[in-house]
Structure 1
Amino acid sequence: MVLLRLLWQVPVALILLVVFLFSMSGYAISVNSRRTKDVPYILPTAPDFSAERHVLDIYTPRGKSATGRPVVVFIHGGAWNSGNKNIYWFIGRRLAKQGVVTVIINYRLSPNVQVPAMADDCARAVQWVTQHIGGYGGDPNRIFVMGHSAGGGLAALLATDTQLFARLGMTKNPVKGAILDDAAGLDMFGYLTKMEYPGDESYLVAYGKVPAVWRTVSPIYFVGASSPPMLVYVGENTYPSILDSSKRFRQRLQEFGIKHEFATLPGKKHIPMATQLFWKNNIIYRDLLKFVGATS
């Protein structure tokens, strides 16, 4: 009985150790940054306002800078029906510690809304950033978007579809570049037209059943000569559909001569493409800091 009790306590002890180490790591990386939490990015009086989903967190470096710092707006993934900015605090802390003002946003999810409304939410968040980020030490003329999975697809759409901002009354797309981490949804028109994989019909909840709408939220069809530069990362062992659409998206960037970097990360599956961002020395951060022109 004593032996069994000890064996039961071992995994508990390991879990507690992991929690402790992550907590200490979180404290260590938060020392040089500040977080401003749950800032509404649309007016709370707006008829569609969601106190949970229309909010963002801002992570700012503690050190002073003579000029505005680059800004990265991170969009979480979650198959368009789940996810939350609070999960990705470590990205905000890591980047802020290295001189980047980082904004991590929420947006409305399926089944309450469909993807076009999610894209509009993300555009409204970026619009808020252009108007207010100067007060947090960020440069409104150096705004970059970043996302993983569904968030990567939304980030790509923000970078390529200028109409998202035109509908908000903005005369130009404020996005200066995009960092796509195992992005999903780059060509949902092609994906949903084929319906190749089990469970694909579940995505119709988020995308609807009208093929023309699928196309309007597929970034691959909006890449053009005016698209900004991009960093595109894909896991070697990610989902086949993400591998395929990422390679075809790269081809579109090449066709239009868009400056970009494309990297397949060896051995990486879909979820580890996001969790690797907990560690500061991964390739995405190294490339990103150069890409946005960060100085710590």
Structure 2
Amino acid sequence: MTRYLLLVLLCCWSWSYQAHGANDSNFTMPKLPANVRYFHDVPIGQVGNVQLYIDIAVPAQALATPAPAIVAIHGGGWRKGHKNKFASKIVNFAKRGYVAASLMYRLAPDHPFPAAVEDVKVGVRFLKAHAEQYGVNPNQIIALGSSAGGHLAAMLGATGNDDSFSTHGLWDDVDSSVMLAVTFSGPNAEFDSQFADQWSSITKFLGGKASSRPDIAKAAMPISYLDANDPPFFVVHGNADNIVPVSMGRTFVEGLKSAGVEHRYIEIEGGTHKLKQSAPQAQKQAYQQAWQMIEEVIAAQEE
């Protein structure tokens, strides 16, 4: 069976599954260009009583040559949000020639740390395990997220060589490393601060106040795992962030420097947590620079 025929069959299966998917959350299929295929609610596997799903958008050119992949991770304070939010976004990524996926993860407080980290890592492993099926280059996966999604993208970057989160028994013969992590407004450090103790999102994510569980607080921070073997990071934070203090971004960048990890940091003057509202032009420029770094990292690997 040719790869093209396999992809057509998968596409038909995906549309059939969409009609019966248990994870729709008011899903609306985005408008698809002729050269993009969309797979909605592809089942990854069962974790406890939760079925994990992934959405994948595939560009036609991935049929001929495996393409880099972008995994997008939604925010929402680890407590809310849905992978379906990124349906249009991953279609736009596919239009640029990337395989793109939106990852589901279990939400706090019902599923505190490390559940969300385990789930995004198994999403990456699933994509790598099915690389040929979806036309993915398994060595060229980029993690991208904002807010809590930025934290999880940073965890993917920082824990690629750490096996402590491979506890599902799902695709655990495949590694979850990524080649670049892009994190906007991410709470990537300072879970041990007084502020973190007062922030309900972190408290519910950790399953209690950080001060009462310092080991868990440390284990939940991307900064705790940084070392010289980590992939590059692209970090963006607004200096007027009213939800995730800019100090969390600055401290994380200092950690990147200390560990000798390649990175670029953009601090947006006057940017609040919602950069699109507070600094739309600066946010747009930051995304343009993120794309530039993505392309540079891919080109460097291919040399």
TM-score bracket relative to the smaller structure? 0.7 to 0.9
Specify the alignment match of 1:233 in structure 2. Answer: 236
Between the aligned partners of 1:66 and 1:274, the Cα distance in structure 2 is 40
CA RMSD, Structure 1 to Structure 2 (Å): 2.8
Between the aligned partners of 1:64 and 1:155, the Cα distance in structure 2 is 24
Kept in 2: contact 1:181–1:273 (CA 8 A): no
Name which of 208, 213, 220 aligns with 2:223. 220
**How far is 1:163 from its partner?**
2.4
**How far is 1:41 from its partner?**
1.5
Kept in 1: contact 2:79–2:201 (CA 8 A): no
Change in Cα spacing, 1:32 to 1:183, as seen in structure 2 (3 Å) is farther
- The answer as to 2:295 corresponding to 1:265 is no
Aligned residue for 1:226, secondary structure, equals: coil
Specify the alignment match of 2:83 in structure 1. Answer: 85
Kept in 1: contact 2:181–2:233 (CA 8 A): yes
Name which of 82, 95, 98 aligns with 1:97. 95
Kept in 2: contact 1:68–1:139 (CA 8 A): yes
Change in Cα spacing, 1:188 to 1:121, as seen in structure 2 (3 Å) is farther
Specify the alignment match of 1:22 in structure 2. Answer: none
Aligned residue for 2:39, secondary structure, equals: strand
Between the aligned partners of 2:278 and 2:136, the Cα distance in structure 1 is 26
Identity %: 27
Between the aligned partners of 2:166 and 2:112, the Cα distance in structure 1 is 20
- The answer as to 2:245 corresponding to 1:242 is yes
TM norm structure 2: 0.75
Q: Which runs of 4+ in 1 moved over 6 A?
A: 274-277
Aligned residues: 257
Greater CA drift, 56-65 or 210-219? 56-65
Name which of 247, 255, 258 aligns with 2:258. 255
Aligned residue for 1:264, secondary structure, equals: strand
Specify the alignment match of 2:18 in structure 1. Answer: none
Write out per-residue CA displacement over residues 148-195 of structure 1, whole angstroms, 9 at most, x where no aligned residue: 1001111111211222455564575521110111112x125323xx13
Q: Residue type matched to 1:113 in 2? A: H
5+ unaligned residues in a row in structure 1: which ranges? 1-25
Specify the alignment match of 2:39 in structure 1. Answer: 36
5+ unaligned residues in a row in structure 2: which ranges? 1-29
Higher relative contact order (CA 8 A, sep 6+): 1
Q: Residue type matched to 1:97 in 2? A: K
Between the aligned partners of 2:297 and 2:224, the Cα distance in structure 1 is 25
Pairing 1:280-291 to 2, within 5 Å after superposition: 282-288=285-291, 289-291=294-296
Q: Residue type matched to 1:204 in 2? A: T
- The answer as to 2:292 corresponding to 1:293 is no
Specify the alignment match of 1:56 in structure 2. Answer: 54
Change in Cα spacing, 1:274 to 1:73, as seen in structure 2 (3 Å) is farther
